[in-house]
Structure 1
Amino acid sequence: MTRVLVTGATGYIGGRLVPQLLQAGHEVTCLVRSEWKLTDVPWRDRVEVVEGDLSNAEALQTAMDGVEVAFYLVHSMRAARDFGEGERHDAESFAAAAASAGVRRIVYLGGLHPSGVALSPHLASRAAVGEVFLASDVPAIVYQAGIVIGSGSASFEMIRHLTEVLPYMPAPRWVRNRVQPIAVRDVLRYLVGAVTIDEDLDRTFDIGGPDVLRYGQMMNGYAVEAGLPQRPIASLPVFTPWLASQWVNLVTPVPRRIAVPIIASLQNDCVVHEHDIDRYIPPPEEGLLTYREAVRLALRREREGEVETSWRGATVPGAPSDPLPSDPDWTGHTVYTDARERRSAASPAAVWSIIESIGGENGWYSSPIAWAARGWIDRVLGGVGMRRGRRHPSRLNTGDVVDVWRVESIDRGRSLRLRAEMRMPGRGWLELGVEPSGEGSLYRQRAVYFPKGLAGRLYWAVLLPFHGIIFGGMIASILQAAERSSGERA
């Protein structure tokens, strides 16, 4: 049994790694910026959680106490100009804390990239983080992986939506570049295996699946597995990474802030140059998953509602990270609310089933045109828009994403609080709740808004006339759906 630290436990890879480490018999500490995001994960009671970020020396020291292996699985999408003051400082602080605590190994997941060429800002920053760890006083295993394929990964979502939406694909020249994708389950296998390697290794390892493909071949490989016709692809020289990211932003749910660095990293061939990791972590007898096997597995997991983590859970820059202050703490704030309640003949359970399944394919039970318009405005402003959907069609957990909202708290069967992550001049929440009332139920709904400056106040004033349509329509439609559901059960 080894005591390990995982940073990025609320992220796509980290959220899947933690249960794998626990299954392997290791003790796990998670360093997270917002502890509430782990409230509903099934393994919460089996790990120690330290709240704090990488710039907090005290939190780092606490998290590193007794740790033998420390995983560094955080990476922002900031521009290269911010790396010196942001990414490098975080990596150096982490390495220094690990050395002070006597950690015997750092494990980092970086990006696969060619040598001797100019890298995109995204790949350059990931490579630089790896160099910080290799130059530190703690031995480091730096994995370099290419496109990760799995249910919920941003790269998989880009391939999926570009292929499904476009019968003909005008594409940048990078669709002809060679890439070596890897299944997320194989990435996790390498990460877990790094804990028990005996040698004091201090080096990089390239990791990738068995297939070397052009990006266009990956799109058509997805089409085959999804039962779609092959897509004609035209390579056009006019698409810059920025222009291509606008195109991706338009036809996929992946926002520009994520699409830009991913696309920029595809400007060069990204293939494995060595397989040295096989000496320390041999491949499974059946071999690593092929690209099409990984796609097939991802599609099956999504159909069965078994997506453990998703790119949708990534923190949105500019969105509030702290929970809504309790009502007594509103003193001193300018607060606008829209509160409504209505009694219903439907049972509390029937109302709750509608509340918990709101958003995504189920919609918002009022003026779909208004919601769609707000989503498009958000996308134009560089926000997440309405197309992030939700991970599971009928169940929510704390930290889950629902379109432009994030689940901030859930008291299952009673109340749900959503925090807005759309672009707006202020901070907003939506609360939905139900409680027994006589032979039926009492439904409560409240929108809460903390405006920022004059723009925030004008924003609320402009939207105020539409509240009756949006929020009034929502309360009526939710209860109608609940009463209809109760009648069908009866």
Structure 2
Amino acid sequence: MTDIETSERKPIIALTGASGYIGHNLLKKLEKQADIIALSRNGDSYENTENVTWRSADLYSLKDAEEALKGADYAVYLVHSMMPSAKLTQAKFEDMDLILADNFAQAAKKNGVKQIIYLSGIIPPDAEELSRHLQSRLEVEKVLSSYDVPVTTIRAGLIVGPKGSSFPIVKKLVKRLPMMLLPKWTRQKTHPIALKDVLSALKGSIGNKKLSGASIDVGGPEVMSYKEMMIDTAEIMGKNRRLVNVPFMTVKLSRLWVSVTTGTPKEMVYPLIESLIHPLVANPDNMDKDLSYGQTPFKEAAKFALEQEEQEENNQPQKEKNSTPTSKVSSSISDVRSVQRVLLPEGKDASWAASRYIHWLEEFGSPFIRTSMDHNHNANIYLFGKKPLLKLTYSNERSHNQRALFYISGGAFAKPEKTPGRGRLEFRQIPNSQECLIAIHEYKPSLPWFLYTITQAKFHLWVMYLFKRHLNKLIKRNNQQPKLIADVSLTE
């Protein structure tokens, strides 16, 4: 029995991604036993019920994350950032995932959350080098665990359900291709698990002290290859498909082929296909006897998923039926998110990195670029004249050695904001490492959008690349020369 079942009062569970594929189904499974704080970027568009309170939350904002988790006893983390999150996103999904997880973990710590439950992917124990997707999942797991809040990680392979990411790709390949050329990865073994079995594992881990701080693998009753799943799916769909093994199709070629064939955005397909070079099979030594062993056979799970999807499509308005997936963010707001990861010299922190960047920018751009920083660490960036291109207002109350936060408060290159404080630049150190994320969030440029994308946006990436090289040169020096480095921390 878990704490959620024996508590004298209903526990309060914060559920991220509550409007998404897994979150929506988990919400329905939990709402009779708990009070739910349902978190979504568009939470205000949903109506509260007796046991469910919706909250809008942008987890890229630490302040929003802190507000979102107020009052929660437990928190379920179902967030992945494989799709763009702004009109222009200049960031790897791995780096965006780290920011989201770091904000969430810090907010959980501040609000006294007893446990975080995280749905991740199976990590192959013998892999010499993990794919980007699996490496990111492991990084997120470590970051969530960095703030003394117990984390329980449920590691699953391919989840068989009506939506999600992996199984719909299998379904679309079977549906659209009378003959399929199957590259080597389609013979790789995986451990599919039905959505309902994943939901049971997630529910059973909430308040489960036995799993506090633990990571467990979950899987269904069969270990299969992707080819075998395609054969079974074709049989369920009543399709006669010819499958031909080919040795020549690389993973890079496969991911393009799958994206084009299924109409699935490359931002989602590419990391998933890259992970299929690994055998994603649950490790018996890493399984819990009560929660890890799903009982639903693949064919039964696939049949249910296909029936549910057909039923949902029949209930959709015609306008939604005719829509197609897109990798673009359909928003009238011309905002920018840009994240770059750099390595800091030993003993330096995010506060140092922020100060070094402002000073280096003038050194790099002289005589055209000039910067200034006052005693409150507010900074201005100038090009030629006296009017600043950007004004950066330092947030003393939300900054510390591991994080330096500036609000983009004005300047010729910044569009005036109706809600001040959303556009921001931050330097954030990844816990227990010398890596630092330099991120711009919700920046709204004043330049016309097309002109911005071909000029300022590209210039920013170039500057970040050169700053990263500058830091790498400092690291390579055995004896760093303090006189060449503005060795000033903003928190000093």
TM-score range, shorter chain: 0.5 to 0.7
Q: What stretches of structure 1 move > 6 A for 4+ residues in a row?
A: 78-81, 306-310, 312-315
Matches of 1:4 and 1:38 in 2, distance apart? 17
Query: 1:134 is matched with which residue?
Result: 145
Paired position in structure 1 for 2:66: 61
Match of 2:174 in 1: 163
User: Partner of 2:19 in structure 1?
Assistant: 10
Give, in angstroms, the shift of residue 208 of structure 1. 1.0
In the other structure, the counterpart of 1:210 is: 221
Q: Aligned runs of 1:338-349 on 2, under 5 Å?
A: none
**1:110 matched to which residue of 2?**
120
1:50–1:59 CA contact under 8 A, matched in 2: no
Distance 2:147 2:153 in 1: 12
Deviation at residue 95 of structure 1 after TM alignment: 1.0
Q: Residues 301 and 307 of structure 1 are in contact (CA less than 8 Å); yes or no, is this contact kept in structure 2?
A: no
Amino acid at match of 2:205: A
2:101 counterpart of 1:94: no
Q: CA deviation at 1:181?
A: 0.6
How far off its partner does 1:196 sit?
3.6
TM-fit CA distance, 1:49: 2.2
What secondary structure sits across from 2:288 in the alignment? helix
Counterpart CA distance in 1 for 2:326 and 2:238 is 33
Verify the 8 A CA contact 1:168 1:232 in the aligned structure 2. yes
Give TM-score, length-normalised by structure 1: 0.59
Structure 2 counterpart SS, 1:109: strand
- Which of 31, 36, 40 aligns to 1:28? It is 36
| Residue of structure 1 in register with 2:133 after alignment | 122
Distance 1:315 1:56, change over 3 A: farther
Note closer, same or farther for the CA distance 1:94–1:210 as it changes in structure 2 (3 Å cut): same
Tell me how far apart the structure 2 counterparts of residues 454 and 81 of structure 1 sit (CA, whole Å): 20
Distance in 2 between residues matched to 1:9 and 1:250, nearest whole Å:
29
CA spacing shift, 1:46–1:307, aligned 2, 3 Å: farther
What SS does the corresponding residue of 1:232 show, helix, strand or coil?
strand
Tell me the TM-score normalized by structure 2: 0.59
Q: How does 1:145-160 map to 2 (within 5 A)?
A: 145-160=156-171
Distance 1:2 1:281 in 2: 21
Alignment of 1:243 with 2:253, yes or no, is: yes
Kindly state the Cα deviation for residue 308 of structure 1 after the two structures are TM-superposed: 10
Q: Distance in 1 between matches of 2:113 and 2:265?
A: 37
Partner of 1:303: 310
Which stretch of structure 1 is more off in the superposition, 112-121 or 181-190?
112-121
1:274 is aligned to 2:279: no
Shift of 1:172: 1.8
Inter-partner Cα distance in structure 2 for 1:272 and 1:119? 16
Shift of 1:146: 0.5
Distance 1:77 1:205, change over 3 A: same
What is the CA-CA distance between 1:290 and the residue it aligns to? 0.9
Q: CA shift at 1:323, angstroms?
A: 8.6
1:71 maps to which of 76, 84, 91: 76
Structure 1 alignment gaps of length 5 or more? 325-450, 457-490
Output the CA distance in 1 between the equivalents of 2:112 and 2:452: 51
In structure 1, C-alpha distance between the alignment counterparts of 2:303 and 2:216, rounded to whole Å = 27
Could you say if the C-alpha distance between residues 48 and 268 of structure 1 is closer, same or farther in structure 2, counting changes exceeding 3 Å?
Answer: same
**Match for residue 50 of structure 1 among 51, 55, 58:** 55
CA contact (8 A) 1:145 1:182 kept: yes
Q: Aligned to 1:95, what secondary structure does the other structure show?
A: helix
Q: Deviations over 1:119-154 (max 9, x none)?
A: 111111111101222343011101111011111232
Aligned to 2:183: 172
8 Å contact kept, 1:151–1:307: no
State the Cα RMSD in Å.
3.3
After superposition, residues 380-391 of structure 1 pair within 5 angstroms as: none
Q: What secondary structure, in the 3-state scheme, does the structure 2 residue paired with 1:270 have? A: coil
* 1:233 counterpart (241, 244, 269): 244
- Give distance in 2, aligned partners of 1:115 and 1:154: 23
**CA separation in 2, counterparts of 1:141 and 1:304?**
34
Corresponding residue to 2:231 among 220, 234, 247 = 220
Relative to structure 1, is the Cα distance of residues 217 and 289 closer, same or farther in structure 2, using a 3 angstrom cutoff? same
Amino acid at match of 1:300: E
CA contact (8 A) 1:30 1:63 kept: no
User: Following superposition of structure 1 onto structure 2, how do residues 343-422 of structure 1 map, counting pairs within 5 Å?
Assistant: none
How far did residue 98 of structure 1 move? 0.8
Cα distance in 1 for residues equivalent to 2:94 and 2:452: 33
Aligned pair count?
321
Q: Tell me if 1:291 matches 2:307.
A: no
- CA offset digits 1:223-261 (Å, max 9, x no partner): 111122253231323x23332122112221322221111
- Aligned residues with identical type, % of pairs: 31
Letter in 2 for 1:288: Q
Gaps of 5+ in 2: 1-9, 85-89, 335-447, 454-492
Contact 1:69 1:104 (C-alpha < 8 Å) held by counterparts: yes
Give secondary structure in 1 for the equivalent of 2:202: helix
Residue 39 of structure 2 aligns to a residue in which SS? strand
Given that residues 29 and 47 in structure 1 are in contact (C-alpha distance below 8 angstroms), is that contact kept between their aligned partners in structure 2? yes
Alpha-carbon offset, residue 77 of structure 1: 1.8
- Shift of the 244–254 alpha-carbon distance from structure 1 to 2, 3 Å rule, reads same
**Which amino acid is the alignment partner of residue 54 of structure 1?**
L
Shift of 1:59: 2.0
**1:190 counterpart = 2:201:** yes
Corresponding residue for 1:487? none
| Superposed CA offset, 1:406-431 (max 9, x none) | xxxxxxxxxxxxxxxxxxxxxxxxxx
User: In structure 1, what residue type is equivalent to 2:266?
Assistant: R
Deviation at 1:204, TM superposition (A): 0.8
Distance 1:142 1:69, change over 3 A: same
CA distance in 1, matches of 2:304, 2:211: 35
Deviation at 1:45, TM superposition (A): 6.5
| Structure-2 residue corresponding to 1:469 | none
* One-letter amino acid of the structure 1 residue matched with residue 71 of structure 2: G
Equivalent position amino acid for 2:106 in 1: A
State the match for 2:371 in structure 1. none
